Structures are given as C-alpha cells and as structure tokens.
Amino acid sequence: MEIELTDKQLEDQKIFKEFTDNEIAPYADRNDNEERTPPETIEKLANKGYLGFVIPEEHGGSGGDMITYGLLCEEIGRGSSSILSLLTVQGMTSLSILRWGDDHQIEKYLSGLAKGEMIGAFGLTEPNIGSDANNVETVAELRNGKYILNGRKKWISFGQIADIFLILAQCNGKPTTFIVEKNTPGFSVHPLSGLMGFRSAMIAELHLNECAIPEENLLGKIGFGFSYVVNYALDFGRYNVGWGCVGLIRAALEASLLYTQSRKQFGALLRKHQLIQQMITDMITDLTAARMLSYQAGYLKDSGDPRTIMETSIAKYFASRAAVKASGNALQIHGANGTSSEYPVQRYFRDAKIMEIIEGSTQMQQMIISRYGYQHFI
C-alpha cells in the first residue's frame, strides 16, 4: 500500500484546510447554538465542488478519488461534524442513484445533486427501527401505477432542507428503496431540536401518509433496498464518518495542545504534568492509527478491492471510539472551562458520541468485524 500523498493531494489538502479555517470552523459553535446550517455555507460547499466530489465529471461532479475525498472529510470533520454529515448524506444519495438508478433517474437527479442544486437525504432509520434496517415498518404498495408509501422516518440528517429523499420501505414484504421529492402530497417534514450532538445538521422526522409517487421512482428493483442500495450507501457513509472522526480527534488534540501551553496549575503549565502528557500521547497515537486505517480503506476503494468493505468498518469502528476518547480527554483537560460554550471541546464531545451511532453503531461494527474474523482467521 502506497501512503505517500501526491503533490496534487497535498495541494488539495491545503485548500481544504484553508476552506475549513475560513468558512466552517469560525461559525461551528454559533451554528450549533442556532441549530442550523446557513444556506450560504451550503452554497460555498457547492461552489467548491465538495458536495459532488466523488461523482464523475460527466454527471456534474468533481470526479475526485477516494483518498483525496478522505482528506476533505478530515478537514470538514475537524471544523464541524454537522457539516460533515451533509457531505455524508449527499454522497450516500448521489452514489446510490449513480449505482442503482436508471437513465431517467440519473438524468433527472444526479447532476443537481453533484452541483449542490439539490440536497439529498437518506430515509432509513425509524422511530422503532435503527440498526435492524432490514425490517423497517414503512410500507409501499403499488396502486394504479403509483407507489403509495405510509410510515415514519426519524433522525434524518438535513431532512429539514433536503429536496429528495431515498426512502427504504417494505414492498411485497421485501425491503425496497424509493425516491421521494419533498413536495410530494402526503409527505411532510418535522424538525427535531434539542439533540445532544449534530445540532446544526438540521435533523428531521419524516411522515409519509398515503404518499403517492410515480412508479418510475423505484430505485433498483423490489427487494434490492437493504442488501444492495442501503449496504452500498452505508459503506460510503462509514468511510465519511471514519475520516470525519480523524478530523474530530485532530480538533480535540489541537485544542488541548493550545490550552495546556497557556493554562497553569500548581505553579506549572498543564503540559508539564505527566497525566496530561499521557492524555496528549493517547490522542496523538489514536489520531495516527485512525488516519492509517482510513488511508487503507480509501486505498482499497480506489483500487477496486472488495476488502475495502471490511476495512471501512474497521476504520469507522476504531476512529469513532477514538474520537469519543479524545474528545473526553480534551474536555477533562479543559476542566470546568470545557463544559462552557466558550470552548469548542464540549461540542466535540457531544458530536463524537453521535459518531459511534450513525452509519452502523459500534455494536453493529463489532458484529460485522467479528464475523469476518471467524471466516478469515480460523
């Protein structure tokens, strides 16, 4: 595996960092308090080509490779986990349509998603169904040439402002994915607020009440919903989250390094205390390990190696747990100050816990990785 970045990737990395430093990080706490992402921020992301970074150029995207995309996710994740989640769901929606959509669906939706003219959301989780997505309770029935959807979806990132939604529903008893546009009669969006983390991700609950969509809005085939569309999208989502956690660990580390160089206790700078040094050491080590695991997953994705699915789960599993540890240590280092909105470490801590839940919880990754172990190490 070649882990040395090319000159182009190094240059792109600098551009991503500058964008985050100027357009994301300075406003992240304000957006968190207001529980919104300003439209101008989304427009800037779109203008830079970040919302369609991995979509081929012929479909309006940037045609970027997965390693470079990972570098983008690290920088955006360093600035705001909520903004990272926009890249996550936009990519999950776009790539699902690119992979499983027919010519009409690709022509109608993909260019708009790639250019940021449309925002996409992924309607998977429900009030009663989380990790067990194969058994969603939303149902779809074909009547008179239209699919009629009934059910509810919950915890949908950027559901408040999305233009199209990929909705997983049971059709003829089989998990199936449908494209639902926001103005469809019978479809309504209900904002969720007061959440622990990802507060500016504009999370929503979706209600589908006799929601009628054209038969042509079936994505893929009946029964393809979970095994094909959802699993394909989740693999991409886990890759995003893994790299985003690398950025979050880095943010926690950088905040801790700055704080311990100026804060004194017992007549010495915090950086001089051995227990503080231990926490800093753990952050640096976990950051390096999480980044290497994410590089490995991206390298395998770019080379078309099917092992990337498992390596992505491993990267997401390790990086999300490491982000919780790093952000917790950062908050501990800051003491009471860390609990204040004047310091971003409290946001890092809250967001890091969400990273352990989304796109397959820590426990789901443990099940996946352990099954892999029994198959390949015995």
Taking the C-alpha atoms of residue 21 and residue 296, their distance in angstroms, rounded to an integer, is 27
Q: Which residues pair with 126 in a beta bridge?
A: none
Candidates 35, 75, 205, 359; catalytic one = 359
Per-residue three-class SS string for 202-261: CCEEEEEEEEEEEHHHEECCCCCHHHHHHHHHHHHHHHHHHHHHHHHHHHHHHHHHHHHC
What's the count of helices (H) and strands (E) in the chain, helices before strands?
12, 10
**Catalytic residue check, 2:** no
**Cα–Cα distance measured from residue 18 to residue 344, given in angstroms and rounded to the nearest whole number:** 19
The amino acid that residue 105 corresponds to is: Q
CA nearest to 325, candidates 317, 313, 343: 317
**CA distances to 78, 275, 352 from 279, in Å:** 19, 7, 17
Q: Which long-range contacts (CB under 8 A, 24 or more apart) does 261-270 make?
A: 270/333
Please count the other Cβ atoms lying within 10 Å of the Cβ belonging to residue 236. 22
Residues with a known catalytic role: 359
